[in-house]
Amino acid sequence: IVLLGWILSGKSSAGNTIFNHEKFPTRRTRKCTSHTGVVNGRSITVLDTPGWWKYFFDPQYAPAAILESVRQSRHMQFPHAMILVIPGETSFRNEQKRIIREYMATFGEDVWRHTIVLFTWADRFPDISIEQHIESEGEALQWLIEKCRNRYHVFDSSNWNNRDQVTELLQKIDEMVAENSLFCLNAQCAAEENIHDTDTQEDEDISLDVDRVLKLLQQEFNNRLKGFGSKLKHLGKDFTGYLETKSHCSMSDPPNC
């Protein structure tokens, strides 16, 4: 299993969730790291890869690092699944569509047949279903899901004890492998298959000037801060309710509290 995604998308946390143990440091991944372990009685190898910035991408770097890592690890040249990790609580717009399309193109057009979208941090959007989230995000995210043949999954990376979510992901990988032939992930295959996406739909003309990038990063930070504040608010309400319950219990029936 190869984990792909932008910086802070939750790739390392997804790998740790799969193994139910901290095998990948959750700080920024600067080089490819792999781990092999037993999951549900099966030997599973996960390759955690360096991410790219959400708002800009230079195709020279991250894919080259992945291909080099694959070259050194012979059994990873034919991965069963490419897992594209997308944080569920952040926006996905034409900028992200364009960058992901450029990134994935370096592995060849065939990569989409072997890719599953994995939404992380499901605990941060508990009030809507993932289908509602995909619909509300609009055309860009819907395009990504369609490119992956409607294959997607959701992880609550804060709850490693939920093993059903891992079992379901492995089942989806098995189904995908049964539908497709082997995927060759090495420099030679990537060069032969490096056919860029020929979608005719026009994307926004995006100017990656410094001011715009800083503004987008600030928006991203504000969104994450807002989500964190909302979670603290809910925790505060739960704690207040707990104290009120204990107080009422103590006054009404002290010996049993």
* pLDDT top residue among 88 and 55: 88
Q: Cα separation of 79 and 241, whole Å?
A: 49
- Nearest alpha carbon to residue 6 among 76, 113, 96: 96
Backbone angles phi, psi at 195, to 5 degrees: -105, 120
Token pair in block for residue 18: 């799969």
To the question of pTM greater than 0.85 for the whole model, the response is no
Token pair in block for residue 73: 């690890």
* pLDDT top residue among 118 and 125: 118
Q: What is the mean pLDDT of residues 89-106?
A: 88
Look at the block and give the residue holding tokens 């504040």.
Answer: 229
pLDDT at 36 over 70: yes
- Nearest alpha carbon to residue 4 among 75, 73, 93, 106: 106
Domain coordinates in residue numbering, the chain: 2-192, 210-256
For the chain, how big is the Rg over CA atoms in Å?
Answer: 21
pLDDT at 7 over 80: yes
pLDDT at 142 over 80: yes
* pLDDT top residue among 117 and 102: 117
Domain spanning 2-192: CATH superfamily: P-loop containing nucleotide triphosphate hydrolases (3.40.50.300)
79: exposed, middle or buried (Cβ count in 10 Å: 0-12, 13-18, 19+): buried
β-pairing, 82-87 vs 115-120, is parallel
Token pair in block for residue 176: 């995908």
Q: What is the mean pLDDT of residues 81-97?
A: 90
Q: Cα separation of 95 and 57, whole Å?
A: 10
Dihedral of the alpha carbons of 13, 17, 22, 24, in degrees to the nearest 10: -50
pLDDT at 217 over 80: no
Q: What is the mean pLDDT of residues 7-27?
A: 89
Report CA 218 to chain centroid distance, whole Å: 21
Which of 41-55, 94-108, 197-211 is least confident? 197-211
Q: Cα separation of 14 and 166, whole Å?
A: 9
How does residue 244 score in pLDDT terms, banded at 50, 70 and 90? low
